[in-house]
Each structure stands twice: as C-alpha cells, then as structure tokens.
Amino acid sequence: MRISQSFKFEAAHRLPSVPSTHRCSRVHGHSYRVEVQLEGPVDPVTGFVVDFSTIEEAFVEIIKTLDHHYLNEVEGLENPTAERIAEWLWERLNDQLPDISSVRVYETADCWAQYDGR
C-alpha cells in the first residue's frame, strides 16, 4: 500500500550557482507544496500503513524551519533547488518515518523534483 500526505510552506530563495543573467539568481519566493509518500503493509489492527497524524508530527519542526524563511540561510540549503530541498527533507524524515518511499517538492504547480533515497 502507498499513502501520501501533502504540506505547504512559503519561502524565499535564490540560486547562487546559476549565471547572474538567470532569473533565479535574484531573490524570489515560491508557494511550495511537499508530498511525502510512504509504502508498506496495512496494519491489520489499526488499518493504517502509518497514521497521518504521525506524518504531521514529523513535519512540525520542519515547517517551522522553512515557512516564511530565506532558504539560503537554512543549514544544508545554501543552494536551495527543488532537488536539494527534496533530499534535505528526506534526511530529516527518514528516521521518524522508516516507511518513507519518496519526497516530492513542487516549486510551482507545474515543476517538481522527487527524491526516493537513492
């Protein structure tokens, strides 16, 4: 069984590794959406793979760290591409959510990066 839960946060960033002529070299913001997917058997007693409230609890401190912040100043996100944010999230969630199978970060409604721990 695969389950998914979404979270949203607002944040600013710039991409320091792109040319100065690139539009993302300047500070700008996004309304990020994150989808966390978990995979595993359904517990016969609870009926859950993982209780959604457990996933929410794992995200509390992460949202405090990211929401309405300048991502370049967050340790480990000095070059905050969607790809790097997905990896960063995985690293912080993996211990709390051992059944995690992927983290998808939407920078816009049409652009996303997904990390599956490989």
Architecture of the CATH domain 2-115 = 2-Layer Sandwich (3.30)
pLDDT, one tens digit per residue, over 58-109 is: 999 999 999 999 999 999 999 999 999 999 999 999 999 999 999 999 999 9
Catalytic residue among 24, 39, 69, 83: 24
| pLDDT for residue 88 | 98
For this structure, is 68 an active site residue?
yes
Catalytic residue among 10, 22, 56, 68: 68
Contacts of 75 (CB under 8 A, 6+ apart): none
| pLDDT for residue 79 | 98
pLDDT, one tens digit per residue, over 12-66 is: 999 999 999 999 999 999 999 999 999 999 999 999 999 999 999 999 999 999 9
Q: For residues 18 and 93, what is the distance between their CA atoms, to the nearest angstrom?
A: 29
Mean pLDDT, range 7-11, rounded to an integer? 98
Copy the structure tokens of residue 84. 């790097």
For this structure, is 69 an active site residue?
no
For this structure, is 111 an active site residue?
no
Domain borders along the chain are: 2-115
